[in-house]
């Protein structure tokens, strides 16, 4: 017998979505709630985190990041823009116009949610081409 039938459908749906979150998404949700709405999980793993399949322990382990985003912060020198566009095209598979727009619109994410090794490699390629890059 499920208690979910005694709750409003939108509450049941929301509860099911929270329970099905992956550990990384649960940590991201906790971070979002804290930064945007100033809602902090209760000590010892609040109801939201406990419902997310034990993600409270993962929230404490958040500094051990496994996915990174490579951010193009800008162009170090104007004469390097063409070489940076070439590297962006190689890394992302974007067309010439899209890669040019990305470089000119910095700061922009070049690659998201990638492993640290790959992120470091992408960062090095962009820096070698003359870009200012950061990892987040």
Q: Per-residue pLDDT for 17 more than 50?
A: yes
pLDDT tens-digit series, residues 18-44? 877 777 777 788 788 888 888 876 654
- What pLDDT does 1 receive? 44
What is the DSSP secondary structure assignment for residue 3, as one 8-state letter?
Answer: G
CATH architecture of 68-135: 2-Layer Sandwich (3.30)
Question: Which residues are CB-neighbours of 101 under 8 A, at least 6 positions away?
Answer: none
Average pLDDT, the chain: 78
Half-sphere exposure of 87 (CA within 13 A, CB side): 23
- What pLDDT does 59 receive? 47
Structure tokens at 94: 């974007």
Helix axis angle for 81-92 and 116-129, nearest 10°, is 150
- What pLDDT does 51 receive? 44
Q: What is the pTM of this model?
A: 0.51
- What pLDDT does 41 receive? 66
Q: Per-residue pLDDT for 48 more than 70?
A: no
Tell me the range of 1-10, 61-70, 105-114 where mean pLDDT is highest. Answer: 105-114
More reliable by pLDDT, 58 or 95? 95
């Amino acid at each position: 017998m499920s208690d979910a039938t005694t709750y409003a459908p939108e509450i049941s749906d929301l509860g099911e979505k929270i329970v099905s979150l992956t550990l990384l998404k649960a940590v991201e949700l906790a971070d979002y709630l804290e930064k945007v709405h100033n809602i902090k999980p209760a000590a010892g793993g609040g109801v939201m985190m406990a419902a997310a399949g034990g993600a409270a322990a993962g929230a404490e382990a958040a500094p051990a990041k496994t996915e990174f985003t490579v951010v193009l912060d800008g162009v170090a020198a104007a004469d390097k823009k063409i070489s940076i566009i070439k590297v962006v095209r190689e890394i992302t598979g974007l067309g010439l116009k899209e890669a040019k727009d990305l470089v000119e619109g910095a700061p922009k994410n070049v690659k998201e949610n990638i492993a640290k090794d790959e992120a470091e490699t992408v960062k090095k390629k962009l820096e070698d081409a003359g870009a200012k890059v950061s990892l987040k």
